[in-house]
Amino acid sequence: MRQPPHELMLFAAGFGSRMQPLTSDLPKPLIPVAGKSLLLRTLALAGAGGITKTVVNTHYLGDKIAKHLENDPVQVLHESNILDTGGGLKNASAVFDGPVVFTSNSDAIWSGPNPFSYLVQNWQDTCDALLLCAPVSQVTGRAAPGDFSISQDGMVQRGGDFVYLGVQIIRLDTVRHIREQRFSLNIVWDELMAKKTLRACLYPGQWCDIGTPENIALGEKLLRTRHV
């Protein structure tokens, strides 16, 4: 029986180093694209995609993110020490109700189906994590090579022409057993690849990485097309 998640871990703790000088006094998730912050754009997508509970982790300039979200029904979890993506998810794991959650970055612009809804449609309980990916040809603001290769049945391996788009569904048990406090989700993915329980599905739309100041204009251009 398929049991897709309805909870989201939204990563917002990073330093946004590639976004300097814009992030010298503003956390990256609060950078506006076409008049609306990246963080609020991601939360709107999540809500439209059926997410009913969201946890946002913070570290760098976390007070500004908390202020930005004071009128939103989300739980802000501040990290006194930076924990990276895997550590951040492990730290927040006790807050969630279910065994499976979404995780998402907040630094992208989308044109196409809602990424959260699309992942739910492709989730199967037989895998431990499902990554949303796209070929390099469908992404803007990110140069080749990609991150992964993906077989016809969705199996994932390192290296290839497919880019991870920053959104996934993952079982919380995959991070709870790791002893370290600070670690990347890449460690978890490597374990799941070895077990053959890491899968990916291909996003049919367009995606723009808002990773540098120059890419903001690219994201705003994408928003002028058909978008979610």
pLDDT in tens, 99-112: 999 999 999 999 99
CA distance 184 to 67: 27
Instruction: Please list the alpha-helical segments (H only) found in 153-184.
Output: 173-176
Q: Are 98 and 51 in contact (CB under 8 A)?
A: no
**How long a stretch of residues is the chain?**
228
Contact 150, 200 (CB under 8 A): yes
**Token representation of residue 202:** 């291909």
In a domain, 140, yes or no: yes
Residue 173: count of CB within 10 angstroms of its CB: 11
* Residue 1 maps to a domain: no
**pTM of the predicted model as reported, rounded to 2 decimal places:** 0.95
- Host domain of residue 34: 7-223
- Establish if 123 belongs to a structural domain: yes
Residue 22: CATH number of its domain: 3.90.550.10
Output the tens digit of pLDDT for each of the chain's 228 residues.
Answer: 467 899 999 999 999 999 999 999 999 999 999 999 999 999 999 999 999 999 999 999 999 999 999 999 999 999 999 999 999 999 999 999 999 999 999 999 999 999 999 999 999 999 999 999 999 999 999 888 999 999 999 999 999 999 999 999 999 999 999 999 999 999 999 999 999 999 999 999 999 999 999 999 999 999 988 655
Let me know if residue 2 belongs to a domain: no
Check residue 1 and give its pLDDT.
Answer: 45
**Could you give the number of structural domains in the chain?**
1
